[in-house]
Amino acid sequence: MREIRFRGKRIDNGEWLYGHLHTIDTLGKGYTGKAIQVQHWKERPFSVQVHPETVGQYTGRITYDETLIYRGDKLQFVTFNHDGTDNGIQTGYVEWDDEAAAYVVVDEKDSDKEYWLYLVLANDDGVRVIGNRWDQEGRVET
């Protein structure tokens, strides 16, 4: 069975949380939005508010060094031509493609260029997670 995990960046201090995703709705009495339910504290699960735009689902894939890959991760990898020669080192961000119903890596320099995540991992045994969209670009203020 596939493991369903999410991560998100805390609103209060900017730390990354990993766990189960759910929506908080306090009916106008506070925060309404995304939260990550994390490990049990005093035998009870607890939820922490996260920036909704930073929420990323675990893709079910790992790198050669067993790093879990999430939506929004920045990958470094090598692509190859049909004759087996390499095109050099590429970088891109992991995203979900609704049309393909699959995770893809969107080229950092050319957003029209996408690579299927499973093929990137199959063709390059040195794929590395080198960051993520939010920590790299500083889009989330904490």
Predicted pLDDT of residue 74: 97
Residues 24 and 80 in one domain: no
Q: Is the pLDDT of residue 73 over 90?
A: yes
Domain residues for 46?
A: 6-54
- 3, 10, 62, 81, 129 from 114: Cα distances, Å: 25, 29, 19, 15, 17
Residues 43 and 67 in one domain: no
99 occurs within a structural domain: yes
Predicted pLDDT of residue 33: 75
Q: How many domains does the chain have?
A: 2
What strands lie across the sheet with 114-116, from one edge to the other? 114-116, 102-107, 86-97, 73-80, 128-132
Confidence of residue 112 (pLDDT cuts 50, 70, 90): very high
Predicted pLDDT of residue 87: 87
Neighbours of 79 (CB within 10 A): 18
